[in-house]
Amino acid sequence: MNILNQYFNTAYNTAPFSKLKNDDFLPAFKTAIEKAKSEIDAIVQNAEVPTFQNTIEALDYSGEELDRISSIFFNLNSAETNDEIQKIAQEVSPLLSEFSNDITLNKDLFKRVKAVYDSKSGLGLSTEQTTLLDKKYKGFARNGANLPEDKKEQLRAIDKELSQLKLKFGEHILAETNAFEMLLTKEEDVSGLPEGAKEAAKQMAESKGKNGWLITLDYPSYIPFMTYADNRKLRERLSKAFGSKGFKGDELDNQDIVLRIANLRAQRAQLLGYKTHADFVLEERMAETPEKVNNFLGELLEKAKPAAQKEFENLEAFAKDLDGINQLQKWDSAYYSEKLKQKLFSLDDEQLKPYFKLENVINGAFTVAEKLFGLRFEDIDTIDKYHEDVMTYKVVDAENELVSIFYADFFPRAGKRNGAWMTSFKPQMIKDGQNHRPHVSIVCNFTKPTKSKPSLLTFNEVTTLFHEFGHALHGMLANTTYPSLSGTSVFWDFVELPSQILENWCYEEETLKLFATHYKTGDVIPMELIEKIKASATFHEGMQTLRQLSFGMLDMAWHFDYAQRKHSREVSVKEFEKKAFGSTSLYPDVAENCMSTAFAHIFQGGYSSGYYSYKWAEVLDADAFEYFKDQGIFNKTVANKFKAYVLSQGGTENPMTLYKKFRGQEPKPEALLRRAGLIK
């Protein structure tokens, strides 16, 4: 496979980052695509009668090298990109779309898959094999295999354009994020900012050869400023810069891209016989239909809205009493919420941060994984990293057997997109009698250490780390035969269960005592602070719920309502969005801002028609954690069941079936509403 393959003789077959050059990727992709094509040809040209093994299984194991290169390259494009990598991504994406379509639109291959599918009742397949067969057949049917030739060509063209548009969308957001800088030179302009945030801003300015404090749109800079900065005008400026990404009518504008993506997705769904993109997507989700999703969001809205409105009125009254603010704006939200939270609970992030040194929180997550699932994390320095900030670990079980290689990348930098995510560099599978263990990575954007302080996390960052680590455990503990069913390859509204359930441990005294120690004194976090964390956990829960629901509703508007109303491309992105937000709006609209043009989850990532799944998974995680609470949060029996039926099974069985095997019942939404304090 040319130069990339020469270096794969590495420890644990890890990615050879230090030896990779950007010039290696395009030839490597082309070679791997040709190899994958020849593997497909071998399946098609097999003279034997189609069987599960020679067709379905062979298909799932094909393209292994291509998948490996893709995972390395596209992870770099998210976490350590540059102009050259972005250019290669633009060249490679259409090639991959074309190759994917070459498979799904290959008539002879589909004929073999269909032959196996039509005879499945007599094949004596296991549950996992049956799931794989269904998935492979649907993979063809849902991607145009039953279409006439002219429609297949249309589909190819749509997929090619979509892959390029999604990349362009993300590139624009990254460029906008990197381009904005707010340099402050007066002490009063940083009034209210915690010392750590001021020091980080000063260091950022120094790194660019400037004097003063430099504020950017990266979360570790943006969030503290919006939460603590006393200067309302500067908060407004920063908020508008953040909210107008992709919405300035310039060369980085995403409005046409949003409309084009929504239109192409609608066309694609209709070409395949579905009413809308949402109908197409949700056929392969626990929620099943757009109507079910809208009902689900509507029910939660009904419960959350009265609480949210009351919280908003209280916040507005508080801001008026404190500073004479008559009309709360979006740039006031975090600032006055934090002030009110401090007043009600005498608790702020600055009190908590000394107890959440990054290294201690990482060890806390590792300890939780050891107590629940018997895992041990050992530092390993014999494997390559793509950046010096990345931490690397070897994960072993109680028998000292390798479970996974784990990468963790925690700090923001210019070539890294905002947010937090889990990903994989190598999947788990069982092939030729060998259990190939996965290489899993989590990527976050936390505050970097400064000259005087280590990286100290806000409590929100602590839960983010546990969240991504929950995804990582789902990947690490995978134990399935087939790569396409392994780890996080599950229905999208099930994938957030392992991540969201792990956040619950952050609120438990038993867990916090394991790792929340003061970075200077070593003292364990005081009991009164733990009580305050728990008491404040449902603070503004109504408003937070409304915010999440608004994102889910906007997603459904673009992928369900938009297609049905047969809008032309000339529709105003802003007006359409305002209408979608109608039932969830609390703050006045900001004319210069638009969320859709920077809504990477649905226009760049994989969450289109799926953003509701965060709330859906919250229902699952609240119900599942009640089971742990009833039996003890480190109860081995419950943990073993969770590992056996959820974490290790990947997508081998219907998720509701797996959930009921673990829990003994279907999830009840009341558990979430109880935890949120929205019902007693």
Do both 128 and 209 map to the same domain?
no
224 confidence band (pLDDT: 50, 70, 90): very high
Q: Is residue 380 part of a domain?
A: yes
Q: Is residue 390 part of a domain?
A: yes
Q: Span 118-146, mean pLDDT?
A: 95
- Bridge partners for 392 per DSSP: 407
Q: What is the pLDDT of residues 493-528, one digit of tens each?
A: 899 999 999 999 999 999 999 999 999 999 999 999
Q: 402-409 and 439-443 as β-strands: parallel, antiparallel, unpaired?
A: parallel
The pTM score is: 0.84
HEC states along 457-485?
CCHHHHHHHHHHHHHHHHHHCCCCCCHHH
- Domain end position, chosen among 127, 146, 165: 146
Q: Is 510 a catalytic residue?
A: no
Do both 136 and 33 map to the same domain?
yes
1 confidence band (pLDDT: 50, 70, 90): very low
Domain with 85 in it: 3-146
- The 10 Å CB-count burial string (b at 16+, else e) for 304-317 is bbebbeebbeebbe
pLDDT value of residue 160: 92
Alpha-carbon gap, residue 172 to 175, rounded angstroms: 5
677 confidence band (pLDDT: 50, 70, 90): confident
Whether the predicted pLDDT of 168 surpasses 50: yes
Do both 239 and 368 map to the same domain?
no
- Domain end position, chosen among 198, 218, 243: 243
Alpha-carbon gap, residue 175 to 672, rounded angstroms: 38
Whether the predicted pLDDT of 181 surpasses 60: yes
Q: Are 542 and 304 in contact (CB under 8 A)?
A: yes
Between CA 444 and CA 454, with CA 448 as vertex, the angle to 5 degrees is 120
Q: Is residue 613 part of a domain?
A: no
Do both 137 and 212 map to the same domain?
no
Alpha-carbon gap, residue 358 to 455, rounded angstroms: 6
Using DSSP, state whether 327 is helix, strand or coil.
coil
Size of the chain in residues:
680
Do both 99 and 204 map to the same domain?
no
Domain count, the chain: 3
Do both 7 and 64 map to the same domain?
yes
244 confidence band (pLDDT: 50, 70, 90): very high
Whether the predicted pLDDT of 570 surpasses 70: no
Q: What is the pLDDT of residues 530-546, one digit of tens each?
A: 999 988 989 999 999 99
Residue, of 242 and 104, whose pLDDT is higher: 242
388 confidence band (pLDDT: 50, 70, 90): very high
Exactly one of 468, 508, 541, 626 is catalytic; which is it? Answer: 468
209 confidence band (pLDDT: 50, 70, 90): very high
Q: Span 192-216, mean pLDDT?
A: 96
DSSP letter for 424, please: E
Q: Is residue 610 part of a domain?
A: no
Do both 142 and 192 map to the same domain?
no
Q: Span 173-188, mean pLDDT?
A: 96
Do both 189 and 134 map to the same domain?
no
Q: What is the pLDDT of residues 18-69, one digit of tens each?
A: 999 999 999 999 999 999 999 999 999 999 999 999 999 999 999 999 999 9
Q: Span 206-235, mean pLDDT?
A: 97
Amino acid occupying residue 349: D
Nearest-CA neighbor of 579 among 560, 553, 616, 615?
553
Percentage with pLDDT > 70 across the chain = 98
Using DSSP, state whether 435 is helix, strand or coil.
strand
pLDDT value of residue 424: 97
Tally of CB atoms within 10 A around 48: 8
Q: Are 308 and 542 in contact (CB under 8 A)?
A: yes
Do both 507 and 361 map to the same domain?
yes
Do both 47 and 139 map to the same domain?
yes
- Domain end position, chosen among 218, 243, 268: 243
- What phi and psi, each to the nearest 5 degrees, are found at residue 399? -90, 10
* CATH number assigned to the domain comprising residue 503: 1.10.1370.40
- Bridge partners for 402 per DSSP: 396
* CATH number assigned to the domain comprising residue 104: 1.20.1050.40
Q: Are 519 and 454 in contact (CB under 8 A)?
A: yes
Q: Is residue 558 part of a domain?
A: no
Q: Is residue 344 part of a domain?
A: no
Whether the predicted pLDDT of 242 surpasses 50: yes
Alpha-carbon gap, residue 335 to 230, rounded angstroms: 8
Alpha-carbon gap, residue 323 to 611, rounded angstroms: 37
Do both 377 and 434 map to the same domain?
yes
Q: Is residue 274 part of a domain?
A: no
Whether the predicted pLDDT of 680 surpasses 80: no
Do both 132 and 198 map to the same domain?
no
pLDDT value of residue 312: 98
Whether the predicted pLDDT of 563 surpasses 90: no
Q: What average pLDDT does the chain have?
A: 94
Alpha-carbon gap, residue 616 to 286, rounded angstroms: 9
pLDDT value of residue 7: 55
Q: What is the pLDDT of residues 456-470, one digit of tens each?
A: 999 999 999 999 999
Alpha-carbon gap, residue 448 to 454, rounded angstroms: 8
143 confidence band (pLDDT: 50, 70, 90): confident
- Bridge partners for 395 per DSSP: 377, 404
Q: Locate all alpha helices (DSSP H) within 581-612, ordered by sequence.
A: 600-603
Q: Is residue 169 part of a domain?
A: no
Alpha-carbon gap, residue 203 to 200, rounded angstroms: 5
